[in-house]
């Protein structure tokens, strides 16, 4: 039976609370992406029960409804008709969703948006500075040469003019004219102002002052400062936007830029600069106190927590601290060893997983990710491996804590920021041995702990599949005599498998689809198929395919297999009410899976104790489009016996 797109859209609209609870809507390849006024007014269970909705979850302020490839666009068209809304892009919906986030999260995201685009310039300059400095120390004659002079100039340019880079990036983020932003940045480091790095060595009475509007404005630049520049450009963008709205178009071209720059410049030099540079100094002092408190205990704590700030997406705020540390008297970045120890430790934990894992897919992800982390890019290791398995993340945090403590004890300081891991040797030339020690200690602790603590669960890896094909367990046992725990059950893969077929994803008794004790499944509204009364709490992939949908409550999995078969495996009846209790997913959205690979473990006794049936629906949502659809098996079945075929 064809899906009624209009009915699906109308039910979604009504369940969401109507137009007054909707802010924005868009769609991607598989999901309807919505931003609502109040998510608490939405009944997720009711949404999940709408025909056509395969899953519902919240992510970064967005309500996302999994509809499916080739279907979501049709539902979206009907949704726009019934709601009266206009189409939005995914980026626009993300922007609206971001605006609903808490102020602190928005501030951190803004810092990231400002710094991420300019990091390549900072990293390149930092590495070049380290290399030039190293050559100068190793070759005194080179340090006195013209080559050293010009290379040093090229290397430190990004740091000398850092406020300009920040101003341009901030203007882009805040929606202002980037060239006016550049002017504000240049005003703040104009050569007529005393360089901020020279002020510390001067007698305060020698610093010239302007007396304007009853204010005394010190003629001091803001080299190396971050917060005053961002605040100044934010103000500039507000002024520019207001003027564009109120200045007549015929004079807007020259009046708006002129007034924007003048007003922003006076406010920046007279108020914003002095106030926020003082605030920035307090932030830096607090950061230094954290690092040094208790003879490095603070650094140890931050070394442990650093990966969690990466997970939360707030690690970009450290760029502000590092830039400020470099601009302070002494000019060394003492935060860098903390980040480097933490990052290197996560890479070591990830490498241990990669070397220990039997699953070839895990190896393929973990080993390259560990190398990336060794070079300072940890997101692949943290999100792709360590966070997924949890224990490696914790082991990495332990190693990072010890390494950060040693970094504090050794008083290591870097000459740049944005660089960690192995490239960090180039910006810690005065502490080469100490830096090598903290990396080595972080690595060894994390690697050894992960190797000992983390154990891979049976997950359909190629090594295990070879054993299963012979019908043997780890000790030569037959699969049916293996341990009763679902996580230890071995699945025998048939030697010959048909591409246009589904194989039993559970062991138990196969019943006809119309005997499933749920009207929605029995009526074939979600597609034709069968029910299985399981004997064990394990679900495996019925064919090779891709995970297309997962529910927050973890009780249902959607797959796309051969011939475009859209497969739904729904464990139990009304088990959505358990809210995931008793269910453990072993796969993630978009993951490619092999026939027989373990997908889901569930607690049969917990489901029964809650009063729900464990009968599992195995349906093909688009069965009506597949010629020769046929149920091949009823009665008792083992894992991976032929269940359904199509022509």
Q: Which residues are catalytic?
A: 28, 570
> What is the C-alpha separation between 426 and 160, in angstroms, rounded?
19
Tell me the three-class secondary structure of 486-540, residue by residue: HHHCCCCCCCCCCCCEEECCCCEEEEEHHHCCCHHHHCCCCCEEEEEEECCCEEE
Nearest to 235 by CA among 213, 202, 264: 264
Show the tokens assigned to 143.
């340090």
Q: Residue holding tokens 């491996």?
A: 385
Residue tagged 């070394």 (tokens):
303
d(CA 456, CA 206): 67
CA distance 618 to 502: 10
Maximum alpha-carbon separation in the chain? 95
Integer angstrom CA distances of residue 84 from 8, 24, 50, 456: 16, 11, 21, 51
Nearest to 8 by CA among 98, 89, 76, 109: 76
Burial of residue 248 (CB within 10 Å: 0-12, 13-18, 19+) is exposed
Q: Please, what is the Cα angle at 109 between 326 and 36, to 5 degrees?
A: 170
Sign (positive/negative) of CA torsion 336, 341, 346, 348? positive
Residues in the chain: 647
């Amino acid at each position: 039976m064809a899906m009624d797109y209009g009915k699906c859209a109308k039910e979604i609209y009504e369940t969401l609370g109507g137009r007054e609870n909707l802010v924005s809507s868009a769609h991607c390849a598989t999901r309807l992406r919505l931003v609502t006024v109040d998510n608490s007014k939405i009944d997720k269970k009711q949404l999940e029960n709408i025909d056509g909705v395969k899953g519902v979850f919240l992510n970064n302020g967005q309500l996302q409804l999994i509809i499916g490839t080739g279907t979501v666009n049709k539902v979206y068209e009907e949704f726009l008709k019934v709601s009266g809304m206009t189409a939005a892009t995914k980026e626009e919906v993300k922007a609206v969703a971001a605006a609903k986030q808490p102020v602190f999260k928005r501030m951190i995201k803004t810092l990231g948006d400002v710094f991420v685009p300019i990091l390549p310039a900072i990293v390149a300059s930092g590495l070049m500075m380290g290399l030039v400095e190293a050559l100068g120390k190793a070759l005194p004659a080179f340090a006195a040469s013209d080559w050293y002079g010009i290379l040093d100039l090229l290397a430190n340019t990004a740091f000398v003019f850092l406020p300009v880079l920040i101003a341009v990036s901030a203007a882009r983020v805040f929606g202002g004219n980037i060239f006016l932003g550049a002017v504000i940045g240049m005003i703040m480091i104009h050569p007529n102002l005393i360089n901020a790095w020279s002020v510390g060595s001067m007698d305060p009475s020698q610093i010239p002052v302007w007396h304007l509007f009853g204010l005394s404005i010190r003629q001091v630049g803001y080299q190396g400062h971050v917060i005053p520049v961002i605040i100044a450009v934010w103000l500039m963008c507000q002024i520019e936007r207001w003027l564009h709205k109120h200045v007549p178009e015929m004079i807007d071209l020259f009046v708006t830029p002129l007034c924007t720059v003048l007003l922003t410049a006076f406010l920046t030099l007279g108020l914003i600069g002095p106030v926020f540079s003082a605030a920035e100094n307090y932030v830096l002092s607090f950061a230094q106190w954290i690092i040094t408190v208790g003879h490095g205990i603070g650094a140890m704590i931050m070394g442990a927590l650093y990966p969690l700030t990466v997970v939360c997406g707030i690690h970009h705020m450290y760029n502000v601290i590092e830039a400020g540390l470099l601009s302070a008297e002494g000019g060394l970045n003492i935060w860098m060893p903390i980040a480097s120890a933490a990052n290197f430790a996560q890479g070591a934990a990830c490498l241990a997983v990669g070397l220990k894992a039997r699953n070839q897919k895990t190896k393929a992800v973990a080993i390259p990710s560990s190398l990336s982390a060794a070079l300072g890019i940890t997101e692949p290791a943290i999100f792709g491996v360590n966070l997924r398995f949890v224990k490696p993340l914790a082991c990495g945090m332990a190693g990072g804590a010890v390494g950060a403590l040693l970094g504090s004890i050794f008083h290591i300081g870097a000459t740049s920021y944005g660089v960690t891991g192995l490239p960090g040797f180039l910006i810690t030339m005065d502490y080469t041995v100490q830096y090598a020690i903290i990396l080595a200690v972080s690595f060894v602790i994390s690697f050894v702990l992960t190797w000992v603590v983390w154990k891979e669960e049976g997950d359909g890896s190629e090594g295990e599949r070879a054993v299963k094909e012979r019908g043997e367990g780890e000790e030569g046992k037959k699969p049916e005599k293996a341990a009763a725990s679902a996580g230890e059950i071995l699945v025998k893969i048939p030697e010959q498998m048909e591409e246009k077929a589904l194989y039993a994803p559970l062991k138990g008794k196969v019943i006809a689809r119309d005997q499933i004790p749920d009207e929605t499944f029995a009526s074939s509204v979600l597609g034709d198929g069968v029910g299985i009364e399981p004997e064990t709490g394990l679900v495996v992939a019925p064919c090779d395919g891709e995970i297309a949908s997962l529910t927050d409550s973890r009780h249902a999995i959607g797959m796309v297999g051969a011939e475009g078969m859209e497969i739904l495996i729904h464990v139990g009846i009304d088990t959505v009410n358990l809210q995931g209790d008793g269910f453990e997913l072993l796969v993630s959205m978009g993951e490619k899976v092999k026939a027989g690979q373990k997908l889901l473990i569930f607690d049969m006794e917990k489901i029964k104790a809650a009063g729900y049936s464990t009968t599992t629906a195995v349906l093909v949502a688009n069965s009506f489009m597949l010629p020769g659809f046929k149920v091949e098996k009823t009665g008792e079945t083992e894992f991976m016996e032929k269940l359904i075929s199509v022509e």
